[in-house]
Structure formats: C-alpha cells, structure tokens
Structure 1
Amino acid sequence: MKITFLGTGTSQGIPIIGSKHPVCLSQNSKDKRLRVSVMIEWDDYRYIVDCGPDFRQQMLRHDVDRIDGILFTHEHNDHVIGLDDIRPFYFRQSDISVYAEDRVIGELKKRFEYVFQEENKYPGAPTLDVNLVDIESFKLKNMQVQPIRVYHNKLPVFGYRMNDFAYVTDAKTIPDSEMEKLKGLKVLVLNALRLKPHHSHFNLEEALEIISILKPEKAYLTHISHLLGFHDDVEAELPDNVHLAYDNLQIQI
C-alpha cells in the first residue's frame, strides 16, 4: 500500500493569504501546505480521502489520470468543496464512487445540487455512485475498511482504517471503543493543529498523548496550521516514531 500526502494543511492552507507570520513567509517547501487529503493505492486501485479546494492542483501535481473513488471524513468545505473537479475523471470513467455517511451526502446535495439532479440534468455534470457509510466495516474492491468514529468538537467525523494503516483528521476526541479499533497499527495519521489547545482539533500535546496510548510503529501528523511552527523545528523535537507529514510525502506500508 502506498500513501501519498496530497495536502497536510488546515482549512486556510499555508501560507495564509496576506499573512506575514514567519511560517507563512518560509521558503522551505515543507512549510507550504495545501488543504488536507491523502491518496491511497494498492494493487491497481486508487482512492482519495477528501477533496478540498486544492483537489485540482493536487491531481495535476501528481499526474493522476484515474481514481476509483473518494472517501469523505465529513462535510466541511476544506474536505469537500473540490468535488466539481472530479469531472475530468467522470468524462473518462463514467460514474465516480463516493463513500460518506448520510449526513455528509445530504450536505453535498445542498452544495452540488446539479450533480444529484435526476431530471433535466446538465450534460456536463458528473454522476456519482453514492455509497452510504456507517460504523460497520465495508469493502473497497479487495480491501476491508473500518470506519473510526471521532468527534470534531461535537461534529461526528469518520476516520478510516485499512489493514495496518489508519487516517484520522479533524478529531478532538476519540471514544474508548474507537481507540480499540486503532490498536496494532503500522502507521497512524493523526491531526495536530497547533501548540495551544483548540476547541475542535487535537493540539500537538494531545496528539502525542493519543499516539503514546495507541503505540503505532510510526505516526504522521497532519492538518497542520502555521501556529504549530516551522516544519524542521517541530520535527526535531518529536519522538523517534512520530513525524510531521508534509505535502507530497509518500510512504509504503
């Protein structure tokens, strides 16, 4: 399984428009972060988790010409608003499979009404193969996927576990029952927004505490804001098995 970090930034990305913060002015490519997303590939299959406002740029950057589907964690714009840019894939492949819980599909129908129209549909609009996700595991081709219920403040969000890999973003709390589903991992990807506490995201201290409990072989931190600090400075202070993810990083599991 190959994991590509398409974006590792928070909702505004880094640099933030007009910001003079030192991290936003950094010339280190690892300090430049598009909105958060990963691409997961195994055998001949390729899936994306979330498609935010940078989706088109991410697909062009990695020369992606085909995807098998998109899994959504939740409905916030930085995770869904790039959905219209699936059209080039749709024109070549026909229906595109998407996976999300019922509430998220409902929000997509509000924002992309033209995609879900059944009558008098505009011929240039894509058609989606909608697959509803709940807490039960499901199959993606030959891969078993276990949704992980976490909470983004009070908003229910899904993370996903595939074999020994798990991806959890936009979490502030993880129930004990879901923590059990995250044990025995080779790689855990977890959000860590900044140094100071935040009402709906783990800060660095909280993320490291979760990692110390779960004990994955390796952990990568994502959904990072400029307030976490310079990539190289933060990376140097992390435990040996924990790393800051950065845009375009690829790992093999």
Structure 2
Amino acid sequence: MTDSPYTDLERPPLSQAALRRALVRPGGLWTSITVVERTGSTNADLAAQAREGAREGAVLVAEHQVAGRGRLGRTWTAPPRSGLTFSMLLRPPVPAARQGWVTLLVALAAASAVRRVSEVDARLKWPNDLLAGERKLAGVLAERADDAVVVGMGLNVSLRAGELPVPAATSLTLEQAGNADRDPLLRAVLREVESHYREWVAAGGDADASGLRAAYLAGCATVGRQVRVELPGERILRGTATGVDVAGHLVVRTEDGAEETLSAGDVVHVRPGE
C-alpha cells in the first residue's frame, strides 16, 4: 500500500525485477538493486550495509523517503513516487585526495541523463545540485562509510507547484519534460554513472585524464558567474567563480583580485546588480 493520493496511472511504482534485469549483469558496476516502499534515508540505510561489508554497486531506491538529508543538514522531502530517491554504494580504488570528484561525477551523469531522456536542459551548480534555469531540480549527497562512499540523489520528477519543498525548486513535469517516466530515467542515470565512473577509475581518479573535469566544466552553470559563498564560521565570500581545480574544488576570484580555492561552501548565484 502507498500513502500517495495519486493513482498508479499517475505515479506508477518502480519494478525492482525490471530494473535488475536491465542493469545488473556479470562484470557490470551494479551488483544489486532494491526498491523499498518507504524508508527514513536511503543514504543511512546503505551506509549501514556498507559497514557490514556490502559489495560495491548496491543501489537502494525508496518510493517514499521520510527523513532524507541534503548538504548542511537540510531536509529533502517529496510526496511518494513523485521523484527518484536513491543511493549508490561505491568503493573507488583511487587516492583519497581524488575521491571528492564522486559527487561531481554523479551530478554530471544525472544531468546528462535528464537532458537525453527528459529533454530538460539540466545544468550543474557546484558542488552537488542540478538546475533547470535557476531552480533546483535535484541534489546529490556523498558520505563516507568506512572505506566506502555512499552517494544519494533526490530528483524531482512529477511534483506539482504546490508540492515543491521550497519556492526555488522545480520538477521535470513543471519544466515541460518530454519524458517524465521514472523507470527509463533511473536506468539512464545509473548507466551514465557507470560509464563516467569506469573511465575515472581507469584513469586512477585523474579528472583530467578521464575527461571528467572538462565534461563537468562544460555543463557547469556556476563557473563564470558572480557568486556569494557561505562558508563555515559565518564567513561570506563574494567574487567570480573561475573554474574547478584538479581536486574538484571551486576556484573563486574575490572582489580584491585574490584567488580562493573552496572544498565546501553554500554557493548562491548572484544576478547582476545584486
């Protein structure tokens, strides 16, 4: 049973069996796909499995997540079956200093899948958001779990205007998507993640050698923009985002001409005159 007010025709359930047939194969990255009706947090659940030795490539999908988390402790909520809420377990065999690229890699893969399947021009906001215009379409959250990385995503698919968690959010449906079917979209995201991940790992986590940094920069809406970055300790940094370095950090040229490299921060795109 589901507590969604919408029918299966409007918001159909995902088929665990169909997803497994399509994505789990010998030699592939994805080793298991589990779809649950309801959970608190797919990241928390999968992190617990990772600490118990779960294999790389486990994917956990929730039709309804009731205690989802975003960056900086923010909550992420959506009605049942209105989006894609899932987490992936990765054990990247690359130097720790290069593993910060995992978040950017997953965001890039998701944006590519959204553009291809849904025909919505999804762009990347450093470090972990997908935007349609200036509205948030999806968020990515990567967390350590011993020697593993658990990467969660929440992608708004069929939310109506009155269901959006914040006014600055949007959904594929609100963006007039050519296809808002969650099944092919999830398959496309996971296939794109696998492709980028394989190339990145084969290059030893080198974002330049694998082409990851160039691809990210090409799809990034932050680079070239005036930004305001809220940093730990209530510090505010203003300037122009000029690039993303080899470690995946944002490079900002401040108003006094200095360059700062940021590994974390809450970025706001500033419109001219603001």
The two structures share one fold, judged by TM-score above 0.5:
no
TM-score after normalising by structure 1: 0.25
Query: Higher relative CO (CA 8 A, sep ≥ 6), structure 1 or 2?
Result: 1
